[in-house]
Amino acid sequence: MGRGAGGRARLVSEGLARRLGTTDAVVVGLSAMIGAGVFAAFAPAAAAAGSWLLAALALATVVAYCNATSSARLAALYPESGGTYVYGRRRLGPLWGYLAGWGFTVGKTASCAAMALTFGAYVAPGAARPLAVAAVVALTALNLYGVHRSAMAARITVSFVLAVLALVVVAGLSGAPESGPALGADRLGHVDLWGVLQGAGLLFFAFAGYARIATLGEEVRDPARTIPRAIGIALGITLVVYAAVAATGLRVLGSTGLAASPAPLADVVTESGFGWLGPVVGAGAAVAALGALLSLVLGVSRTVLAMARERDLPAALAAVDPARQVPRRAELAVGAAVIVLLLVADLRGAIGFSSFGVLVYYAIANAAALTLSRDEGAPARVVPALGLALCLVLAATLPVTSVLAGLAVFAAGLAVYAARRPRG
C-alpha cells in the first residue's frame, strides 16, 4: 500500500504546463464548436424543428449558456485537467464523476473517429479511412509536442473556417433569387414543441465544445480569470456564427430544402448563384473536421489523465512527460483507440449516443454547480437548476436509438466501475 500511495503522489505531482492564455483557450473552444458539425448539423435539426429551426437554436443557446456558466464557475474553483469528471467527484461523489468521465471519454472517442472520417470523406471519398488514420496519427503527434503548438494549429483552422462561413453567409444573403423561399414565410407553420426540443438537442451537440476549455484547466494561465472569460467569448462568437448560418440556410433553401440537403452549405452557395464556391465550402468542411478532431483529442486525453490519477482508468495513463509536460501516454492511448475504431467499426451509427452522453455530462456539471456556496463563486441558483432540467429534457427527446445506445454505454460503464471497486 505504501508503495502504491507513493507512486500515486508522484504521478499527481507531475502537473501540466500552464501555457495557454485567453486567446488560446478561446480558439481551442471555437475549433470544437465551429467544427465540422456546422456544415451538417442544421439538416437533421431542420428535419426535426422545421420552420422553427431558429427557435430550436435559441433553446440550445439557453442550455449552452447555463452549462457554460456552471462549467466556468467550477473550472475556476478546480483548475485541473478532467472537466466535469473532476467537478462531479469533488461535489457529488466518485460515482457521479466517474459517470461524467466515462460518458465523455467513450462518446468523444467515437466522435474523434467520426471527425477523422469526415475529413477523409471530403478530401478523397475513395480513401476516407486511410486518410482518417493518417489525420489521427498526425494530430496525435502534434499534441505530443505540447499544447501551445496545438493551440497555434487551432488558430489556423478556426480562421480559415470562419472565413469560409462568412463567404457562405454573404453569398446566401446577396445572391439568393427573389423567388426563393423567404425566411418570413417559412416561419408561419404551427409550433411542433417536440420537434423544437429534438432540434435543440441536436444543435446543442454542436455547441458543446466549450467543455474543451474546462478540460484544459491545468494548462491555462490564471485559470480563475481566463477560463470563465474564454468560455463566454467562445460561446458568444459561436452563437453569432450559428444564427447567421441558420438564417441564411432558411432564407435560401427553406426548412424543407435544408432538412433534405446532405450538404446544406454547399447547396446554399449553389442556389445563390455562387456554385464556384462549392470546392471552397468542401475545403472548409475538411479543415473544420481537422480542427474538431484536434480539440477532441486534447479534451479526451485530459479526461483520461484525470481518471487515471484517481484509478478509474489504469494508473500508467496518469504519467506526464517531464520534458514537454503533456500527458503523453493518455494521448497515445486515445489516438490508438480512435485508430482501432476507424479500422473495425461502422461509425455511421456508432456515435448516436454521443449527444446523449454530452447532455448527461452537463447535467452532472449543473448538479455540481448547485452545491456551490456564494463564497465559492456560485452562479444565480436558477442558472444551474435550469441547465440541469433542460439537459435531462433534451436527452429524453433525442431519437430513441440514441437514447437506448446512450443508456447501454452508461450501463457498461457502471459494470466496469463495479468491477474495479475494491470489495469488502
pLDDT score of 83: 82
Among 138-147, 202-211, 312-321, 364-373, top mean pLDDT goes to: 364-373
C-alpha distances in Å from residue 388, one per residue of 231, 260, 367, 392? 18, 32, 6, 6
- For 273-313, write each residue's pLDDT tens digit: 898 998 999 899 888 888 888 878 888 888 898 898 888 88
Cα–Cα dist 39/404, whole Å: 26
pLDDT score of 193: 86
- For 155-187, write each residue's pLDDT tens digit: 888 899 999 999 999 999 887 554 444 444 455
pLDDT score of 177: 54
Distance between first and last Cα of the chain? 16
C-alpha distances in Å from residue 339, one per residue of 51, 136, 140? 39, 7, 11
Q: Which domains does the chain have, with CATH numbers?
A: 20-420 (1.20.1740.10)
pLDDT score of 16: 61
Residue listed under C-alpha cell 500515486: 8
**Residue 68: is its pLDDT beyond 80?**
yes
| All cell numbers assigned to 360 | 448527461
pLDDT score of 147: 60
pLDDT score of 11: 40
With both helix axes pointing from N to C terminus, report the angle between 128-144 and 328-344 in degrees, rounded to the nearest 10. 180
- Global pTM? 0.80
pLDDT score of 372: 94
**Residue 381: is its pLDDT beyond 50?**
yes
Query: What is the H or E stretch that residue 9 is in?
Result: helix 2-13
Cα–Cα dist 407/372, whole Å: 28
| All cell numbers assigned to 228 | 470563465
Cα–Cα dist 256/261, whole Å: 9
Q: By the 8 A CB rule, do 146 and 17 touch?
A: yes
Q: CA neighbours within 13 Å on the CB side: how many for 35?
A: 30
- For 88-129, write each residue's pLDDT tens digit: 999 999 999 999 999 888 888 888 888 888 888 888 888 889
**Residue 133: is its pLDDT beyond 90?**
yes
Residue 19 contacts by C-beta under 8 Å, 6 or more apart in sequence? Answer: 146, 147, 148, 219, 221
User: What pLDDT band is residue 2 in, cutting at 50, 70 and 90?
Assistant: very low
**Residue 3: is its pLDDT beyond 60?**
no
- For 390-409, write each residue's pLDDT tens digit: 999 988 888 788 888 889 88
pLDDT score of 17: 63
pLDDT score of 178: 47
Cα–Cα dist 116/340, whole Å: 12
Low-confidence winner among 11-15, 145-149, 365-369 (lowest mean pLDDT): 11-15
Collapsing DSSP to helix, strand or coil, 419 comes out as helix
| All cell numbers assigned to 168 | 457562405
- For 14-41, write each residue's pLDDT tens digit: 566 666 777 887 887 787 788 767 877 7
C-alpha distances in Å from residue 286, one per residue of 116, 157, 424? 9, 10, 52
Concatenated DSSP letters of 317-368: GG---TTT-S-HHHHHHHHHHHHHHHHH--TTTTTTTHHHHHHHHHHHHHHH
Q: How many CB atoms lie within 10 A of CB 14?
A: 14
For the segment 328-343, the average pLDDT, to the nearest whole number, is 90
pLDDT score of 90: 93
Q: By the 8 A CB rule, do 285 and 118 touch?
A: yes
